[in-house]
Structure formats: C-alpha cells, structure tokens
Structure 1
Amino acid sequence: MLRDQDGLCAICRVAPAVHVDHDHETGAVRALLCFNCNGGLGQFRDDPDVLRAAADYVAFHTLSQRVVALAAAAGLGPVRTVRLGEPPVGSHRRPGARGTSTRGIGRSSGARRREQAGEADG
C-alpha cells in the first residue's frame, strides 16, 4: 500500500504516509495517511457532510478575503465581508427582528416615544 501511494498521504499527496487509516465501524483498512490528514478525519468524525461543510466554509472565506483585497487594491475604500444573516450596513435591525419593537406590552417604540414626549396617540 505504501509503495502504491508512492509513500505519500492518500488525501493531501504531499506529506509522508505514516498512519494506517481504517473505517471505525467495520475496521477495514482504507489507506495510509499523514499525521494531519488522519487527525483531521478524526476531528470531523469521518462524516462526509461535515467535511464538505468545512471545505465550503474555507472556500467561502478565502474568496471573501480575496474580494476585500481586490476592492482595496482598486481604491474602493474599506470593504467588509458580509456574513450570512447579518443586517445590511447602517441597519440597526437585528437578524429576525420586526420593524418596530413592542417590548411585550403591545406598544411600538414610536408609541412609547410619543407618550414620553407628552404626545397623544392619534
């Protein structure tokens, strides 16, 4: 197996293959891996969905950083990355919040301000 893999990890194909990887349910040997790749599989519980999510996460943030760098190089000023679920820049709304707050007593924030200012509801 080591010869078939040219002495390299079956995943990264860069580092020396020093660990025998196996399926934890069946015990079947899968391939030879380097220290980092073997540990990574263990940390992600050998779950392909979690591994794909991790790969997507890294790809998204790498691309996001490149976009910010390109914008800066083009002189577009400070640009920040957008995170899913974030309100737009300048918005004071929290994700999932409604347009006005009723704070559990049935009055909107505008009604509270008018009441505090001594104005009657119309």
Structure 2
Amino acid sequence: MKPEAEFARSRASASGLASYCLPCHNARGKRSIEKRGGSRTYHLTRRYGISGEEADAMLDAQAGFCAICKTAPAVHVDHDHATGAVRALLCFNCNGGLGQFRDDPQLLHAAAYYVQFHTIRQQMQAELDATASPPDGASRPGEPPVGSQRRPGTRSTTTRSTGRNSGSRRRTQAGEADG
C-alpha cells in the first residue's frame, strides 16, 4: 500500500486517483514509447500517421530544406487540417505563415498580389522622385535659396535699422523731414 500522494489525480476513476503510482506510470509510458520506436516516431505516428523513417525520406527528398522557401531547414511536418494528410516538411516561418492564412489558397493569392502591387508602386514612385527632383544644391534661377523664407517679387516686411528710433522711421516713411 502506498500513500495517495504518490498517485496522480484522474477524473476517469471513481476514487479520483490514477491506477498506477507516478514511478510506475512513468516507467510504463517509457516502455510504450520505446516499443513504438522512440519518442520521435511515437510523436510522428500519433500526430501525423507517419514513421520517423518516412519523415527522414521526405527530408532527404527535399535536400533538408523547406518545401516552400527552399532556404531554411525543414523541421516541421505540414499537413492538411481538413483531411490530416501530410503534405511536406516546412521551416518554422513557412509553416506558421500557412497557419496564419488558414491554408486558404485565395487568401494566399490575395496576400501575394497585395505585396507585389505595393512593391511595384514603391519602385515606380522612387523612379519618379529620382527623375523629378533637381540635384542637391541646385536651384532654379530667380528662386530663393532652399530653406529661405523669402519669396521672389515681394518686399521685405522688416525695415533695416539705421540707428534711428521707430518714431523717426515712421516720419521718414511718411515723407516728413527731420527737424
């Protein structure tokens, strides 16, 4: 007889405890996994219905790279969520991307079109900007220097100081002589 603390909790039994103590439960699990070819094969068989050897053959056929981008190492099994059928091995980013787009081909095509459209638009805008703007430092004749607040053809709103006070400046501007 062992104390209840050595048993895992289980809702399946009337007592609320598992049938085996924790050390025996773990030993049984290890034996079951080893009988099926190890933890990798156990996982692949249970989750995707393929063996470790089948996954290795797929990896060899793909030369070790992702079936989509063909640059990153293929480390994830891609499968059809509707049927469960294994498709290929993918890298983390491509596998996650398909999942984010819910494996919807129309949504993936729309995303590809969106990226292509905006890439071309940005390239065309950059070309227009490069041909439309003058080289740095050059300005058109009759134009104020770049950054100047002066506008051509307008008179300055400020009066140059001649050392006189503002009252004498107003009289001079009004046509009165100094007295």
Compute the TM-score of the two structures, normalised by the length of structure 2: 0.42
Counterpart of 1:7 (choices 64, 81, 84) is 64
**What letter matches 1:24 in structure 2?**
H
Asked if 1:75 is matched to 2:132, the reply is yes
Which of 69, 85, 109 is the matching residue for 1:28? 85
Per the alignment, in what secondary structure is the counterpart of residue 60 of structure 2? coil
**2:57 is equivalent to residue 39 of structure 1:** no
**Structure having greater relative contact order (Cα 8 Å, sep ≥ 6):** 1
Name the aligned partner's letter for residue 118 of structure 2: H
Matched residues in 1 for 2:119 and 2:99: separation? 24
Query: Which amino acid letter does the alignment assign opposite residue 66 of structure 2?
Result: C
Listed one character per residue, the Cα deviations across residues 82-102 of structure 1 (whole Å, up to 9, x for unaligned) are xxxxxxxxxxxxxxxxxxxxx
Q: CA deviation at 1:75?
A: 1.9
Q: Give unpaired runs (5+ residues) of structure 1.
A: 78-122
How many residue pairs match? The answer is 77
Q: CA deviation at 1:73?
A: 1.1
Output the CA distance in 2 between the equivalents of 1:70 and 1:76. 10
Aligned residue for 1:3, secondary structure, equals: helix
TM superposition shift of 1:25: 0.9
TM-score, length-scaled by structure 1: 0.61
Extract structure 1 runs of 4+ deviating beyond 6 A: none
Which position in structure 2 is the counterpart of 1:89? none
Unaligned stretches of 5+ in structure 2? 1-57, 135-179
CA separation in 1, counterparts of 2:132 and 2:106? Answer: 39
Q: How far apart, in 1, do the equivalents of 2:94 and 2:72 lie? A: 9
Query: For residues 52-63 of structure 1, what are the structure 2 equivalents within 5 Å?
Result: 52-63=109-120
Which protein shows a greater Rg? 2
TM superposition shift of 1:62: 0.1
**Which residue does 1:111 correspond to in 2?**
none
**Identity over the aligned pairs, expressed in percent?**
69
> Residue 113 of structure 2 aligns to which amino acid in structure 1?
D
